Amino acid sequence: MIKILVVEDEEPISNLIRMNLTKAGYYCKCAFDGKEAADIMASEPFDLFLLDIMLPQINGYELMDYAKSLNTPVIFITAMGSVENRVKGLKQGADDYITKPFEVLELLARVEAVLRRYNKSERILKVLDIEVDVDSRTVMQNGEPVTLTLKEFELLLLFIRNKNIALYRDVIYESVWESEYMGESRTVDLHVQRLKKKLHWEDKIVAVYKVGYRLMA
């Protein structure tokens, strides 16, 4: 399982991040100041660090130097959103920089992107009765192969990686079709219906009123 250390001194934000990363299938540990984070970094390996910059005792920039010596990717999550701060963070070696307040889906997407860049993302995904091999692009359901089109496969990955999260139709469209959403709700709806039918997930992928769809897992 992918292990992520969240270093954030504001407990409500830390809890929000941890809850959503855990729902997405990651193992999450939290530290609330820089010294605690450094001690944890020294005692166990992680696949990704999410660092606030303004931390008690040891700030995020100082932690960055230690994180890079461990060859572990870093995403800064901070209220310091000025261009100067973003440039400073990226120049120091951060792999990405997210400013508060942020959307949960954006956080999950950026985490996944950084993990993929380091070949650390999960290659075998399991949810309910489905097992997906990301590299071979194969899907097994109860030990039997399921044939999906390319878009259906990408749609399934999106739902699995964001299980229990309501996904807006525009987010689904732009993630799977990789183009700007222009109100093509019928395209999304048709593909979702076909995916539900192929997997017999009529009661698992549910419509969310005025939003889109959610995978209940």
- Bridge-based pairing of strands 27-31 and 3-7 is parallel
More confident residue, 79 or 28: 28
Q: How confident is the model at residue 35 (pLDDT cuts 50, 70, 90)?
A: very high
Cis-peptide, bond into residue 145, ω within 30° of zero: no
Give me the percent of the chain exceeding a pLDDT of 90.
40
Q: How confident is the model at residue 82 (pLDDT cuts 50, 70, 90)?
A: low
Q: What is the CATH number of the domain that holds 60?
A: 3.40.50.2300
| Predicted local confidence at residue 199, as pLDDT | 95
Same domain membership, residue 84 and residue 174 = no
Q: What is the CATH number of the domain that holds 195?
A: 1.10.10.10
Same domain membership, residue 153 and residue 90 = no
More confident residue, 156 or 99: 156
Q: Tell which of 66, 98, 117 closes a domain.
A: 117
Same domain membership, residue 103 and residue 78 = yes
Residue 144 has pLDDT above 80, yes or no: yes
Q: Tell which of 85, 117, 149 closes a domain.
A: 117
Residue 215 has pLDDT above 90, yes or no: yes
Candidates 118, 132, 11; CA nearest to 75 is 118
Same domain membership, residue 146 and residue 110 = no
| Predicted local confidence at residue 113, as pLDDT | 86
Q: Tell which of 77, 97, 117 closes a domain.
A: 117
More confident residue, 134 or 189: 189
Same domain membership, residue 133 and residue 108 = no
Residue 192 has pLDDT above 80, yes or no: yes
Same domain membership, residue 93 and residue 190 = no
Same domain membership, residue 163 and residue 107 = no
Indicate the number of domains in the chain.
Answer: 2
Tens of pLDDT, residues 195-206: 999 999 999 999
Please report, for residues 25, 95, 179, 206, the alpha-carbon distance to residue 50 in angstroms, rounded to integers and kept in the order given.
16, 10, 29, 31
Q: How confident is the model at residue 155 (pLDDT cuts 50, 70, 90)?
A: very high
pTM over 0.95: no
Domain that holds residue 156: 124-215
Cα(168)–Cα(165) distance, integer angstroms: 10
Same domain membership, residue 209 and residue 186 = yes
Same domain membership, residue 113 and residue 128 = no
| Predicted local confidence at residue 191, as pLDDT | 95
Same domain membership, residue 49 and residue 96 = yes
Tens of pLDDT, residues 85-117: 667 767 777 888 888 888 888 888 889 888 888
More confident residue, 49 or 161: 49
Same domain membership, residue 140 and residue 81 = no
Same domain membership, residue 16 and residue 110 = yes
Work out the average pLDDT over 131-154: 91
Residue 4 has pLDDT above 90, yes or no: yes
